Copies of this chain bind each other. A is one copy, B any other.
Amino acid sequence: MRISELSAETGVSVSTLKFYLRERLLDPGEAVSATQSNYTDAHVERVRLIRALTEIGGLSVAHCRDIVAALATTPNSFGDLLGVAHRALPAPGVDQPESEQVHRFIARLGWRVDPESPARRSLSAAVQAAQEAGVPIPEDAVSAYAEASLAIARADVTALLQEPDLEHMLRTMAVGTVMNDAILSSLRRLAQEHVGTSLLAGIDPFEQSAATA
């Protein structure tokens, strides 16, 4: 298909498609003349991926490129896959060192996490930033978050193990983690509203949910 058809198929404007091409997020089409290239279904899929990562996932072009590059690698093992996927994900504050507080916290949880894992440093930066923003997170809340994160990871890994091979797993891990961050962020706001509104109405928000579950 031509670039105008790729645009019609994906709902992404031709100028944005040209931007994706310039930024090397999208592979060039096969040249059929000096001014025209041919695009395939693989391009349609890639454009939908980029749009989802940037518009809903909130990723920058640079971070999007990291994810796209990770998808082109072939992991040798599950451990390898985890490393590739996590290194490709945005990790704000990763240039800061891990804090003593976070180090002790992870040790207390008993989580098996590499001492060099970037998420240790991102977590340290996020905890410190919350403090600097005047909203330090209480110790109890971090523990509740960790427990909830473990339940989420259980669901993630269960879904991951249903993939047929390591390539599909890598895609689900790298892209799924970004997209599911967006899903979780919305669910969290809905849950806050439910809990707040229920308490205002004198109803136990947790009873309600347990009864329905």
Contact = CB atoms under 8 A, between A and B. Distances in A.
Given A55-B129, A92-B56, A155-B141, A110 B190 contact: no
Contact residues of A: prevailing secondary structure? helix
A19 interface: no
A148 interface: yes
Interface string A104-140: 0010111111100111101101110110111101101
Task: Tell which of A125, A173, A184 has the most Cβ of chain B within 10 Å.
Answer: A184
A8 interface: no
Interface string A151-165: 111111111001000
Contacts of A113: 190, 193-194, 197
Interface residues of A, number: 101
Contact of A201 (B112, B140, B186, B196): B112
Nearest to A112: B197
Given A125-B56, A195-B157, A145 B183 contact: yes
B49 A212 contact: no
A65 interface: no
A79 B171 contact: no
Task: Tell which of A91, A156, A201 has the most Cβ of chain B within 10 Å.
Answer: A156
B159 A193 contact: no
Contacts of A162: 138
A79 B199 CA distance: 10
17 contacts: A52-B132, A111-B194, A112-B208, A113-B197, A114-B197, A117-B193, A122-B189, A134-B171, A135-B175, A135-B176, A147-B151, A149-B187, A150-B205, A152-B188, A154-B206, A157-B192, A181-B181
